[in-house]
Chains A and B, each alone.
Chain A
């Protein structure tokens, strides 16, 4: 049982770090996408959405090359004294952040777009500078979007498999997350252990989605 608990702990840790990171990174991106009239909008939007359609192995493959000892990102991390990222927890965080990005950015973008121009104009006529308006009006009004984004980002990170396998491998307590562990159990014909974890994931995913749908009953 012990290695399984390690995998669960690692999964939760990874999902938490990634969700927090994504809320910080995703908010400005979503805000920009929601408000810009720039021609870059379609380009950036498509980039962010790419993980939705890309096989995880493709993303994992390229990240492996980029972050590897001869890749440009690998060169940077090495010259900064950080070593190389693949097969480390940090590597998993970077990969998962990219992979889960659309699940955070898109709900936030929708929430920001739904606010519309008017409340922001009202705030400006009430002497609020733009940054103040963002924090005092846009953020509170987008709160449901943030909750959706956090839940989806967390749940999606918990559930990923392909990218983790490509970037993180299968190192116990360092990169072996639940989804990989289930795969290991099945490979080894340990169906009982696989059942525990798989059943747990099923329950978890259902509860998350159930929470999401009951939280937004009025969504039109």
Chain B
């Protein structure tokens, strides 16, 4: 599926108004990102038909699910979607197998098979248990498998990890990545965690106070200086790169991307594999001349695209490495001393890179 999802909803509660107009790619993971109470969950519920506002419009894969101007409104059970709620809402009166089969029996379309879903989420060993005998992470994996088994054209996930503790998040994340990489189902993922979004999403819709503040590729939005993500200590850039090879003797892995190549701590993976690399703005310093004798491994040429003040005496610099954005946080004093301005050609010294799990 490649045609975009078009979603427009208006919904007013006392003290809150949602008014969104989103165009979401028909593939990959799109994060609806925003603070608690910004309306992202409400927007997701509108997509599912669980919430009904006025003048809504929803088109998925060329099919119109809702067009209030024409009186079209498919009820939730007629929309070909899967929905994963914040807390796993398994039916307590059914064992895991019956929970999984509940939707599969009712969905007419063939698509994801029981075997496939069970294997993908690693839940074969708990099939005959009751939901209250599972850990939170296991329950959420079952809930995800159950949503996949209706063979959805669109998978909606409402902070599926919000109710899990840190360890359990780590347990679920690999399954979500597998799901993103192995099934061609577009996913809309509500989250307020920049970490989750950086790890999972390809596309991002930033929601603020019930409105869409910005929408675009993740790498773009995370580094846009006019948006809140590219500020403060946790500002970071995410780079997609391909593993080119390893330097076993140095315990390093080499990954290449449009802006050059990066050395990472050794990863046990094959060449060609796509990896997500996170680079924190505070780990990137700038030099004018390519340093020759330095302990820093990753030094890449870049061009300054934008500079914005970021706290007292600090600047956030957005760089482009042959089109790939990177953030660097430097002091005002350094910028003055080096004479860095918009359009400057510099070298980005990257002190530390991390692979996103």
Contacts and interface: CB of A to CB of B under 8 A. Distances in A.
Interface of A: 118-119, 121-130, 132, 136-137, 140-141, 143
Interface string B128-154: 000000000000000000110010000
A125 B81 contact: yes
B106 A118 contact: no
B9 interface: no
A124 B103 contact: no
B89 A124 contact: no
Interface residues of B, number: 22
Interface in B31-70: 48-50
A122 B107 contact: no
B75 interface: yes
B102 A128 contact: yes
Given A124-B76, A126-B106, A127-B77, A119 B150 contact: no
A119 B91 CA distance: 7
A145 B82 CA distance: 31
Given A128-B106, A136-B102, A119 B89 contact: yes
Given A121-B50, A121-B76, A127 B89 contact: no
B188 to A, nearest CB: 13
Tell me what chain B mostly uses at the interface: helix, strand, loop, or mixed.
mixed
A143 B48 CA distance: 29
Given A121-B76, A122-B85, A132-B106, A127 B150 contact: yes
Interface of B: 48-50, 75-78, 81-83, 85, 89, 91-93, 102-103, 106-107, 146-147, 150
A115 to B, nearest CB: 10
B73 to A, nearest CB: 13
B102 A118 contact: no
A129 B79 CA distance: 11
Nearest to A141: B93
A125 B102 contact: no
In the A-B complex, list the 3 residue pairs whose CB atoms are closest, starting with the nearest: A126-B103, A125-B83, A124-B76
B88 to A, nearest CB: 10
Nearest to A132: B106
A122 B150 contact: no
A123 B85 CA distance: 12
27 contacts: A118-B85, A121-B50, A121-B76, A121-B89, A122-B83, A123-B77, A123-B91, A123-B102, A125-B77, A125-B82, A125-B83, A126-B102, A126-B106, A126-B107, A127-B103, A127-B107, A128-B102, A128-B103, A128-B106, A129-B75, A129-B77, A130-B77, A132-B106, A136-B102, A141-B91, A141-B92, A141-B93
Q: Which residue, of B77, B103, B146, has the highest number of chain A Cβ atoms within 10 A?
A: B77
B115 to A, nearest CB: 19
A137 B92 CA distance: 9
B91 A127 contact: no
Nearest to B100: A126
A122 B139 CA distance: 14
